[in-house]
A and B are shown apart, each in its own frame.
Chain A
Amino acid sequence: MFWRLVNGALFRQKGKMLMIAFTIALGASLATAMLNVMLDVGDKVNRELKTYGANINVIPKEASLLDDLYGVDEGSGVSDRYLQESEMGRLKTIFWAFNIVDFAPYLDAKIRMPESEDAIRLVGTWFANRLELPTGESLDTGIRNMKSWWTVDGEWLSDGDTDAAMVGRLLADRAGLSVGDRLSVSLGDKERNLTVKGIFDAGSEEDERVYVPLPIAQEMAGRAGLVTGVEVSALTTPDNELSRRAAQNPNSLSVKDWETWYCTAYVSAICYQIEEVLTDSVAKPIRQVAESEGAILEKTQLLMLLITVLSLAGAALGISNLVTASVMERSREIGLLKALGANNAPISWLVLTEILITGVIGGVIGYFVGLGFAQIIGQTVFDAAINIKPMVIPLVAILVFLVTLAGSIPSIRLLLSLRPAEVLHGR
């Protein structure tokens, strides 16, 4: 009998129920789309931001001290402290290894060129080096991914090149170099002839430099197996009060706070973990990059959350109006049921069941429409598909349930206040 009553109400009021289902579907679709995008946008935005370079710089401890005390750039060649190239694979063994997207060790050296009176900075680095990790996996990493905004005439170097170089645009123009030219460089008594394989435009001081594969720089500088530093591009969580405290002194944290901080992908936590694996190293966040990444991500997610909340609030209002109208329309029927001996609880349950069934139908439709919306947003904004997050299903289910319930509260209150004498006899 209960289901007969539910069924009858659903079909008799199908216009109104369709409107309720549509309202719920709209809310659920926006919630689904926004939650999927929100949960995926972190990676998407981070990856997008990773194209603007490294956010952590790792240098030897003493070089860092010179920098801190005298403002001497670690790349000036004044320090004779280095990191071990062989330890680079350890970067992918830290707790947040998965968040280390790319890294490139570099070795700086001051060289001389016949075309220039001043010393030129030679940078040996990885371009897209195949690295066999201690975990047994392999990884291609280097500046080719990290400096994706460089515009290159000619081509990128490969790590196996033994006599090739990439020259910055400003230096190339000053020295009259073009792609394919031979370039003679000297460091102390060592001299090498390199072919200009590419001329890059970085839009920064890097345009004054010469880039070569790391082994060439190591051989010229006589620093086999050593690097001056490492640029690391990592996915990070926006800083908060805890991470700021930890950045100043991790040892000042309580055990619980320390664990929370260590197990969250704060840039300071990742720096700390890098220092743990690279001998005598200091990892420093490139603050501007790290902070703006965090801020952009935080604001984007907040925007998504606001849209979700507003869409659900709108749906709740819509449901509230429609269900209240439905209850008012059915006041005689509800009054009759009360007159026949039905208490408030079974009548409320009857109306709630009708609305929840409508909510389930609307929610399921809304979920699938929302997946479509998410893909449209993904393609339009990030030019990539949004990964469907299974956890959105229970989230949307709970939200739809709560919104439907919240939207039904005014109508349930109205229903409870209905007195059979008033609705049946107009008194």
Chain B
Amino acid sequence: MSLLEIRGISKIYGNVNALRNVDMTVEQGEWLAVMGPSGSGKTTMMNIIGCMDKPSEGTVLLDGIDISTESARNLTSIRRDKIGLIFQQFHLINYLTALENVMVAQYYHSMPDEKEALQALDRVGLLARAKHLPSQLSGGEQQRVCIARALINYPMLVLADEPTGNLDEANEEIVLDIFRKLHEEGITIVVVTHDPEVAQEAQRTVILEHGRIARIVVNESGKGQEGE
């Protein structure tokens, strides 16, 4: 069974059809990229997959649960237990240290565990910066804190929205390297990106245009295939 199964979802905001009859699946352990120009529906799709929004039509099954019909409270619970969110703007709490920013996610999930949070920071190479405030960290470091926070509760699915959008090349490479390791560990990753180089790292790239899937590119060691 696929980890994520999207069947005919549409999302309408007033007169705007942000998504139109989208079908898509993400397998367990897969690395999927979602690409498309601005206004193509990428963020809407991420919000729906991330249990932060519900489709106007269609069904979304995450780990067998139909998240298109769940209450807001249940969606919060599913998001907390199954999804790790990574944001382009990092969204770190600026009065908490890197360590505390990671522990916040633990606090709302179960119990804060400093040792485990330090291990998560170590995993992204930031153990030495654990006691620093976000304002004392570079953009790349902040994004790595964000990744550590997303990973701290062992999510089934890591959902990243333009994770390298605000980073320079060197930091982009560091972040992608972390993603590669996560993929090797079997973590399912969905990355929304503008950047073809980032998308190229994924196994498949879903290209959205005007709220529809224009094509799906399979990136397998130069064996990329295109399809509807």
Contact = CB atoms under 8 A, between A and B. Distances in A.
A11 B44 CA distance: 35
Interface string A320-358: 000000000000110011111111001000000000000
Nearest to B80: A341
A388 to B, nearest CB: 40
A340 B94 CA distance: 16
Interface residues of A, number: 25
Contacts of B38: none
B108 A336 contact: no
B204 interface: no
A126 to B, nearest CB: 75
B158 interface: no
Contacts of B89: 424
Interface stretch (B23-31, B97-105, B208-216): B97-105
A1 B104 contact: yes
Contacts of B53: 419, 421, 427
Contact of A343 (B47, B73, B149): B73
B43 A427 contact: yes
B108 A425 contact: no
Interface residues of B, number: 33
A339 B95 contact: no
Contacts of B52: 339, 419-421, 424
B105 A340 contact: yes
Contact of A5 (B47, B94, B104, B105): B104
A340 B112 contact: no
Given A12-B95, A427-B43, A340 B100 contact: no
A338 B76 contact: yes
A427 B104 contact: no
A424 B76 contact: no
A343 B76 contact: yes
A346 B104 CA distance: 13
A337 B108 contact: yes
B77 interface: yes
B76 A337 contact: no
Contacts of A5: 93, 96, 104
Contacts of B93: 5, 8, 333, 336
B87 interface: yes
Interface string A3-17: 011001101100000
A374 B108 CA distance: 47
Contacts of A4: 96, 100
Contact of A341 (B47, B100, B108): B108
B178 to A, nearest CB: 19
B85 A340 contact: yes
B113 to A, nearest CB: 11
Interface in B44-75: 44, 46-47, 50, 52-53, 73
B201 interface: no
B96 A341 contact: no
B132 interface: no
Contacts of B76: 338, 341-343
A1 B85 contact: no
A332 B87 CA distance: 12
Nearest to B97: A4
B18 to A, nearest CB: 8
Contact of B91 (A1, A8, A336): A336
A340 B47 CA distance: 13
Interface in A1-55: 1-2, 4-5, 8-9, 11-12
A11 B95 contact: yes
A425 B109 contact: no
A346 B77 CA distance: 13
Interface in A401-423: 419-421
Contacts of A8: 93, 95-96
A427 B13 CA distance: 9
Contact of A332 (B50, B91, B100, B104): B91
Contacts of B91: 332, 336, 339, 424
A166 to B, nearest CB: 79
Contacts of B94: 12
A338 B104 CA distance: 11
B103 A1 contact: yes
Interface in B110-140: 112
A420 B93 CA distance: 15
B78 to A, nearest CB: 9
A276 B44 CA distance: 86
13 contacts: A1-B104, A2-B107, A4-B96, A9-B95, A11-B95, A12-B95, A338-B76, A340-B85, A341-B79, A343-B77, A421-B50, A427-B47, A427-B53
Given A8-B95, A421-B53, A424-B89, 16 more contacts: A2-B107, A8-B93, A333-B93, A338-B76, A339-B50, A339-B52, A339-B79, A340-B80, A341-B81, A343-B77, A419-B53, A420-B52, A424-B87, A427-B43, A427-B44, A427-B47
Shortest Cβ-Cβ A-B pairs, 7 listed: A341-B80, A8-B95, A421-B52, A1-B107, A421-B47, A342-B108, A341-B108
